[in-house]
Homo-oligomer: A and B are copies of this chain.
Amino acid sequence: MRIEDISSFVPPVRTLMGPGPSDVHPRISLALARPTIGHLDPAFVGMMDEIKVMLQYAFQTKNELTIPVSAPGSAGMEACFVNLVEPGDKVIVCQNGVFGGRMKENVERIGGIAVMVEDMWGHVVDPNKLEEALKANPDAKIVAFVHAETSTGAQSDAKTLCEIARQHDCLTIVDAVTSVGGTPVKVDEWGIDAIYSGTQKCLSCTPGLSPVSFSERAIEKIKSRKTSVQSWFLDLNLVMGYWGGNAKRAYHHTAPINPLYGLHEALLILKEEGIENAWARHQRNHLALRAGLEAMGLSFIVLEEHRLPQLNAVTIPDGVDEAEVRSRLLQDYDLEIGAGLGSLAGKVWRIGLMGYASNMKNVMYCLGALDAILTDMNAAINQGAALDAVKTA
């Protein structure tokens, strides 16, 4: 590529029904373009306070330390782990998909000890297994699990898992990247100690920020650490000087100003709709999509009672080249759906109905496009089979 040949990038207009990013609400796109101001500007500091209040609403919490980390969800995950886990700490990590494995990576890179509680991919985290692991490891200090597994579409019972952790005097770290805004996440009612999410899923926003929230118990643990947090960028003791309650904000790092405009607008849209209404909308559109997919003969890999309405993982019909289907959806319909991840690569599609993208127009468009392509490909496959039958006859 020659630099001389590069010109402004004009992206295609896609319909985003993968595992995120999802369709961005037009009000949010426009908010991104607003004039940049300084990260210590009083006007900006006022907006930061509003973001905190609206994030508390999104997380259903009164936690003071409820802020967006200035980087994508993976950094929000890392912020939770590096602040709460110290070298030598034992952490029970429940894994039922890709993202539980990433939690293990985080614990081990801190020098913590990860005790794995494994469930099959597509299943939920089994509370009984967690209970057993905690009995077998009375020195465990933290329980970490994924509320909404983006790799499978399974939703675990966060309330019960947190109760069990609390009975064993453990703090909890919960991955809610895909759930916040799409299905109920109740930080205070469920007693979650540390939680992280992303902006590019059910909040209808662009990727790049990671909302997090920490309970008083978690903050006590952070403040009483014996070792320093291994990441300077993610050290909440420092970040709080900037995002904290004081009118005087201490510079830590330069906040991503315009993406935060986008998050502010996204949270405002959530507030205007009402979070219960947003949850109901995700469920309603999921049921419509489900009806269509099942009519096409596609089956879900997660049991009905554990399905995330915003992330629909379905098996690939026999004989269908799944990558070709996705490629044709993108090329012919400007429609993105997700591939399988990890051990489910090549085995499932992941169809997202997240945030603004969870609407009836997308449901109908996706079903129509998928049906057209599968019908076309099935015809080709059948023709091939017919030809083969002729040849061998």
On chain A, the number of residues with a Cβ less than 8 Å from chain B's Cβ atoms is 82
Task: Give 1 or 0 for each of A1-40: 1 = CB within 8 Å of chain B CB.
Answer: 1010011111111101010110110010111111111110
Copies of this chain, how many? Answer: 2
The answer to whether B259 and A258 touch across the interface, beta carbons within 8 angstroms, is yes
Which residue of B7, B34, B35, B259 contacts A208 across the interface (Cβ within 8 Å)?
Answer: B259
Instruction: Compute how far the CA of A232 lies from the CA of B1 in the bound complex, rounded to whole angstroms.
Output: 31
Please measure, in the bound complex, the distance between the C-alpha atom of A41 and the C-alpha atom of B108, giving whole angstroms: 32
A207 to B54, CA, bound (A): 23
Return the chain B residue nearest A16 by Cβ: B38
Q: Which residues of B contact A41 (CB under 8 A)?
A: 12, 14, 330, 336
In the bound complex, what is the Cα–Cα distance between A258 and B12 (angstroms)? 13
Task: Check A271/B6 contact, CB under 8 A, given A75-B233, A109-B232, A208-B259.
Answer: yes
9-residue interface stretch from A43-51, A121-129, A187-195: A43-51
Residues of B within 8 A of A78 (CB): 231-233
**Of residues A258, A259, A261, which shows the largest number of chain B Cβ atoms within 10 Å of its Cβ?**
A258
- Report the minimal beta-carbon distance from A268 to chain B, rounded to whole angstroms: 6
Task: Tell me which residues across on chain B come within 8 A of A53, comparing CB atoms.
Answer: 1, 3, 6
Q: A72-B254, A109-B228, A253-B73 are in contact. Are A31 and B9 (CB under 8 A)?
A: yes
Chain A 278-319: CB-based contact to B (< 8 A → 1; otherwise 0)? 000000000000000000000000000000000000000000
A39 to B18 alpha-carbon distance, docked (Å): 11
Interface flags for A183-218 (1: CB within 8 Å of B; 0: not) read: 000000000000000101000001110000000000
- Give the residue of B75, B207, B233, B256 whose beta carbon is less than 8 angstroms from that of A255: B207
Is there an interface contact between A232 and B7, defined as CB atoms closer than 8 Å?
no
Q: Would A71 and B34 be within 8 Å (CB), given that A206-B256, A206-B258 are in contact?
A: no
- Asked whether A264 is an interface residue with its Cβ less than 8 Å from the other chain, the reply is yes
C-alpha spacing A24/B256, complex, angstroms: 13
Q: Which A residues are closer than 8 A to B by beta carbons? A: 1, 3, 6-14, 16, 18, 20-21, 23-24, 27, 29-39, 41-44, 47, 49-50, 53-54, 57, 70-75, 77-78, 102, 105-106, 108-110, 198, 200, 206-208, 228-233, 251-259, 261-262, 264-265, 268, 271, 330, 336, 341
Minimum-distance CB pairs A-B, first 7? A208-B256, A71-B71, A74-B253, A33-B33, A32-B32, A207-B254, A206-B258
